[in-house]
Amino acid sequence: MTIIGFVRHGVTAWNKEGRAQGSTDVPLDEEGIEMAKRVADRLANEKWDIIYTSHLKRASKTAEIIAEKMPSVELVEDPRLREVSGGMVEGTTEAERIEKWGVDWRQLDMGFETQEAIISRGLESIDEIRRKHLGKRVLVVSHGSFIKRMLNELITDPVYETSLDNTSLTIVELTDDKNVCQLFNCTAHLSLETFHKKNSL
């Protein structure tokens, strides 16, 4: 049995503007850094053996902040954990896409990364992590669309198709018989009164 704790990166300016990020290397904004610190404080109170992260800055910075709270835990960068490539739509909002390509833009070939390519690289990485760290608890810091696709492959339950919140924690237990989701899209660390007070000023 291996435990995988999926963490979505902190928020970015493009998240707030509704811009498709994909493989564009958008950094965390100030709030995103604060969110990463919150999830780091939470995870520091738990037992984790190693951290893997996407190489994109918004994920790798989130992972670095988490790793700072776990000085004895190794941090490994794996580009296979990157976000799904959005092709031509990266950097655009829905309104801009409609203006540029029309309301049926989803029917056009926008150069998206194929589902097959996403699943192939993602499961290759997860399988490798599982083999290397059998019986361990592994954090994987990645991206919303990528994590959702991995969950769909690992769990195959429509209840887990909900969009994931920034810095949410989702824990999956991988076994030979059946994979089980122990925790889904949890952001309890962001519910702290002090965090809300700070961000309402």
Q: Where are the domains of the chain?
A: 2-86+114-200
**95 is an annotated ligand-binding site residue:** no
pTM for the complete prediction?
Answer: 0.92
How deeply is 9 buried, as exposed, middle or buried, from its count of CB atoms within 10 A (0-12, 13-18, 19+)? buried
CATH of 2-86+114-200, one of 3.40.50.1240, 3.90.950.10, 1.20.1440.230, 3.40.50.920: 3.40.50.1240
Rounded Cα distance between 128 and 138, Å, is 12
Q: What pLDDT sits at residue 161?
A: 74
pLDDT at 177 exceeding the cut of 90: no
Per-residue confidence band for 192, with pLDDT thresholds at 50, 70 and 90: low
Per-residue confidence band for 197, with pLDDT thresholds at 50, 70 and 90: very low
**93 is an annotated ligand-binding site residue:** no
Per-residue confidence band for 159, with pLDDT thresholds at 50, 70 and 90: confident
**14 is an annotated ligand-binding site residue:** yes
Condensed to tens digits (0 to 9), the pLDDT of residues 97-115 reads 999 999 999 999 999 999 9
**15 is an annotated ligand-binding site residue:** yes
How deeply is 104 buried, as exposed, middle or buried, from its count of CB atoms within 10 A (0-12, 13-18, 19+)? exposed
Q: What pLDDT sits at residue 196?
A: 47
Condensed to tens digits (0 to 9), the pLDDT of residues 119-153 reads 999 999 999 999 999 999 999 999 999 999 999 99
**143 is an annotated ligand-binding site residue:** no
Is 9 part of the annotated catalytic residue set? Answer: yes
| Active-site residue, selected from the candidate residues 9, 31, 34, 113 | 9
Is 143 part of the annotated catalytic residue set? Answer: no
Q: If you write DSSP's letter for every residue of 152-198 in order, what string do you get?
A: HHHT--GGGGSPPPTT-EEEEEE-SS--EEEEEEE-GGG--HHHHHH
Q: Which two tokens stand for residue 114?
A: 């194929």
Rounded Cα distance between 149 and 84, Å, is 9
Condensed to tens digits (0 to 9), the pLDDT of residues 43-74 reads 999 999 999 999 999 999 999 999 999 999 99
Q: Minimal CA–CA distance to 187: which of 81, 71, 90, 43?
A: 43
Q: Which two tokens stand for residue 113?
A: 């990364």
Q: What pLDDT sits at residue 133?
A: 97
pLDDT at 193 exceeding the cut of 80: no
**187 is an annotated ligand-binding site residue:** no
| Active-site residue, selected from the candidate residues 31, 34, 83, 90 | 83
pLDDT at 157 exceeding the cut of 90: no
Condensed to tens digits (0 to 9), the pLDDT of residues 2-36 reads 999 999 999 999 999 999 999 999 999 999 999 99
Q: Which two tokens stand for residue 163?
A: 């969009």
